[in-house]
Amino acid sequence: MIVKENINNVCEFNFLYDNVEWGSYDKEVASIALKNTLYSVSVYEDNQIIGYGRIIGDGAIFFYIHDIMVRKDYQGKKVGTIIMNKLVDKIKEYKKINNGARIYLGASKNKEKFYEKFGFITREEANLGPGMIYQEK
């Protein structure tokens, strides 16, 4: 297994999106999004992408962990753990600049247990509101 930083390859990103059944993005849309990534981790086996995760944010106060994806046939083999550990290490580096930085992630339903292992708690446990998402009428 090889772990690489800041690759942000649109085809690999869309491949994983499809593989985990989220549906892929328009190439141009994905390209803009990935260019604005602060930090990312790509995991390869036999030169093929098997996992990806990224951090977006303002680089000092707000950070958001997103798009943690492990190819279906590699799930449950700690690839997600490798990705999350690298992202959390990077977050710790950013926190040296501002220890009060806020780290968010939008866990999909029933994925909370996975993230708990890396120190994340639900907003409710942090005494915060459930959070909101914009929905166009």
CB of 98 to ligand COA, least distance (A): 25
Task: Return the structure tokens found at 130.
Answer: 């459930």
Q: Determine the Cα–Cα distance for residues 127 and 124; give it in Å rounded to an integer.
A: 5
Among 30, 34, 49, 79, binds ligand COA (CB under 6 A): 79
Q: Are 91 and 55 in contact (CB under 8 A)?
A: yes
- Dihedral in degrees, nearest 10, Cα atoms 118, 51, 69, 115: -10
Among 77, 85, 95, 104, binds ligand COA (CB under 6 A): 77
Q: Are 75 and 51 in contact (CB under 8 A)?
A: no
Q: Does 108 bind ligand COA (CB under 6 A)?
A: yes
Q: Does 17 bind ligand COA (CB under 6 A)?
A: no
Q: Does 78 bind ligand COA (CB under 6 A)?
A: yes
CB of 69 to ligand COA, least distance (A): 5
* Rg of the chain taking only CA atoms, in angstroms: 15
**Residues near ligand COA, by CB under 6 A:** 20, 68-70, 75-81, 107-108, 110-111, 113-114, 117
